[in-house]
Amino acid sequence: MIARRLKPPVAQRIPKTDIVHGETRHDDYYWLREKERPAVTAYLKAENDYADALLRHTRPMQETLYREMLSRIRETDLSVPYPDRGYYYYYRTEEDKQYEIHCRKRGTLDAPEEVTLDLNALAAGKPFLSLGPYHISDDGRLLAYATDETGFREYTLYVKDLRTGELLADVIPKVGAVVWAADNHTLFYTTEDDAKRQYRLYRHILGQSEDTLVYEETDELFNLFARRTRSGVYILLASGSHTTTEVRYLRADAPQGTWKVLAPRMQDVEYDADHRGDLFYLRINDTGRNFRLISVPVADPRREACVEILPHRADVMFEDVDLFENHWVVSERHNGLPKIRLIEFDTGKTHDLSFSEPVYEAFVSTNREWKTRTLRYGYESLITPRSIFEYDMDTGTSTLLKQTEVLGGYNASGYASERLYAAAEDGTAIPISMVYRKGFGKNGPGPLLLTGYGAYGWPSPVIFSSLRLSLLDRGVAICIAHVRGGGELGKTWHDQGRMRHKINTFTDFIACAEFLTRKGCTTPDRLIIEGGSAGGLLMGTVVNMRPDLFCAAVVHVPFVDVINTMLDDSLPLTVGEYEEWGNPQNPEDYAYIRRYCPYSNLRPVDYPALLVKTSLNDSQVMYWEPAKYVARLRTLKTDRNPLLLVTNMGAGHSGASGRYDRLREIALDYAFMLDRWGVQ
């Protein structure tokens, strides 16, 4: 390959030495943190140029993939309208436009369309745009919305008069949650500190320049979140860490009133709340890790006055509850698969929504109406496109409202999905979700993409993507390793992959890879892995532990410099993350993190080919982590495999914000993979 004769960029080495718990640590690339330094920008651009040159031969494939993926998408499309206070709300997309256009119609879908917010107009001339909060006042006249124009998750709040289309003078920077009071002219919003922690709640009255500080959270482990209850009667302010929650409440029609604590914080007790009638309902894990449901009187919300409605179950993760005037909806997960149940308050009658595929996702969709006998829910799987249904409790039937269309004649019967299990080092069964085009493996082991995440108790979603067809139709199988640290099997599954059990996440993933090779699905020279953020940490660790097991890895915004980041409590997220990873200021936590931190454990061996991607304005995993990782690895690795660093110079943690730009990014990833597999 001609590109191999190109010389990669060489980052300047500026020694920096620290002593941590008696260990002398050397970091020659600490200087890459200096974002405003011209040498940093020059280095990142040099890496981009090198990657572009090394991948130049894949440009035709990138263009083919882009056109292919685009051809399956209906570019001019419409979401399913949902009713809310006399309007139907929806968004639509238009061909050749990067962003959504948010709209509504009054009273009926035959009414004239009102455009509430055109993101394309807001994004004109900007490389990035992300919409945060989007909330309409109770009377339907005002829209409070917030946008980020850099990718740094720095949202500015605006208020738009939907009658005139004019923006009010009320503009507030660095907001998080935004909530309307019922009076239609009072807003509550949270704002961030220097470490991007949402820590203060303010009350803002439209037209006034001075806002009132309502609450400040002083514990750096905690972030603030605010929302209206589904009933609309109360505003809730939740202060939460990774392990503990405290909720305050205020009547929405009395915004000048006094906030009250619903249930005082207790270490390692998490809860969320909602309201109906004279009761608050709490999903709480005070008697078991997987949560139960209790109610407490609004007049006396002490936990001693609670009534248990749904007990804790060790084998079922109780994920969420949605309250309506006449029924409540339970979202739970059993054996790693989601379930939805509707229960009628008056009769106790239960409606169970059943799903037949071996792996899938099912979720409660947008339901804004409080008084209703129907439920909107969504369903999709690795082979079934996203589908929005409406369930009628009177007839017991579901009606399909819309299934995402896949253009070009997609036929799900040509593909198969299944659930497999790999045995971890300690014997634990690790679920694997697999999808492939029928016929995969008939001619022996084939190319296989294995993805994973495994952190924060978040289940890896088993969803449909028409983009994946570009791999599946070329004979690639795709697998998701549901490793510990995620939430597929409840809170204990998370517990077994966090803090001083974090090693399980990595050994589980390796066990899944070994299982797939033993099963004959693939071989190490045909196995590529992919993960992002905490999943990028997973990638960085497993290629250190078993570089021989994979032929390539695609690593997105990877959290690979764990020790140095977690030692710096001035960085976004760091302090709050102590309850997920540990605090390396503690010698025992330091020693444990030291075992797996990718940057700290790079060594002189043959590594697989690596495509490492980041964004300059990422506020969750700073760009310098992958930049330092690549710079140091270049000095150590003993192979001639490609090591590429690609930096989006105008985006954040999720990459490009425009839908066409995002397709280009994915086309590059896929072209890199197909090139490593030798597949055209």
Which residues are annotated as catalytic?
A: 533, 618, 653
Residues 159, 143 contacting (CB under 8 angstroms): yes
> Cα–Cα distances in Å, from 281 out to 20, 309, 321, 351?
47, 9, 9, 20
**What's 89-144 look like in SS3?**
EEEEECCCCCCCEEEEEECCCCCCEEEEEEHHHHHCCCCCCEEEEEEECCCCCEEE
Q: CB under 8 Å to 605, separation ≥6 — which residues?
A: 547, 637, 638
- Helix residue ranges per DSSP H, 482-528: 491-495, 503-518
Exposure of 309 by Cβ count < 10 A (0-12 exposed, 13-18 middle, 19+ buried)? middle
3-state secondary structure of 251: strand
What letter would DSSP give residue 631? Answer: H
**Backbone Cα Rg of the chain:** 25
> Cα–Cα distances in Å, from 374 out to 80, 212, 274, 400, 457?
15, 40, 19, 13, 30
The Cα 539–Cα 180 span in angstroms is 42
Report which of 167, 174, 125, 170 is spatially closest to residue 147, judged by C-alpha positions.
174
Residues 119, 101 contacting (CB under 8 angstroms): yes
CA atoms within 13 A on the CB side of 287: 13
CA atoms within 13 A on the CB side of 385: 16
Partners of residue 205 on adjacent β-strands: 186
- DSSP run (H or E) holding 662: helix 659-677
Residues 623, 538 contacting (CB under 8 angstroms): no
Q: For residue 1, give both structure tokens.
A: 């390959």
Amino acid at position 448, single letter: L
The Cα 262–Cα 251 span in angstroms is 13
Which residue, chain included where needed, has tokens 């191999």? 4
Q: CB under 8 Å to 371, separation ≥6 — which residues?
A: 324, 325, 326
Residues 471, 673 contacting (CB under 8 angstroms): yes
